[in-house]
Copies of this chain bind each other. A is one copy, B any other.
């Protein structure tokens, strides 16, 4: 089963397009968790409380790397706590010459055991190819991101089309093993509609809901394929920090449930 099939399968089984971003900032943990491995306990509780509501969990590696050795342990233990079948996304945004990219792929897919990761397209095909070798492992290529800096380069006109459209065209060509997807910010609803047309049925990871202010209705309506699937709607801070008190896991579940259901309502009206 290639990555695209696997993602579709879990989205159907769970009836959910929701991805929770475990961007666990040690400074924002509930005060009730005070132990050496508080971040790991926090992630485990969030996963236990939400695993029936999601198709994926996304771990942004920046948060774990900043915590050094402890962060590395937390990352591995968090991955181990995620039930098999649920997609895991190593949000690493890597990209390097082929020789080095192969080592990054080993770090993400073998040392850690992510089922997919994010990559940056700037260095071109040989910098992303090593991540795409195994059809069971997915690769989300940055296309049009949710942040203000997206304006600096991604919209630049190249032969009458914005640069991100060329990235999408290349990614479609690289998608020989049906394991490639795109990253498109939820803050880009107008572009997302056309991007879905260009992307065919490739998965689109859509961050930027919640703290970044992206529009959920448009993300779902424009991001899904013709079957109302293959959009992966990520929310991080709005879910995992829904409460800073000892009810944090229940509060995260309440917010995740609300998001999942809201997403599903938009899916119905889109079809």
Contact = CB atoms under 8 A, between A and B. Distances in A.
Contact of A111 (B65, B126, B212): B65
A37 to B, nearest CB: 16
19 contacts: A62-B94, A65-B104, A65-B111, A66-B103, A66-B107, A66-B110, A91-B96, A93-B123, A97-B147, A98-B147, A120-B120, A120-B122, A121-B152, A122-B122, A123-B142, A123-B154, A124-B148, A127-B147, A157-B159
Contacts of A128: 149
Nearest to A97: B147
Interface of A: 23, 25, 60, 62-63, 65-69, 72, 91, 93-98, 100-104, 106-107, 110-111, 120-128, 142, 145-154, 156-159, 163, 166-167, 170, 212
A68 B123 contact: no
A156 B166 contact: yes
Contact of A123 (B62, B67, B145): B145
Query: How many chain copies?
Result: 2
Given A93-B95, A95-B93, A147-B97, A153 B66 contact: no
Contact of A63 (B60, B103, B122, B148): B103
B167 A153 contact: yes
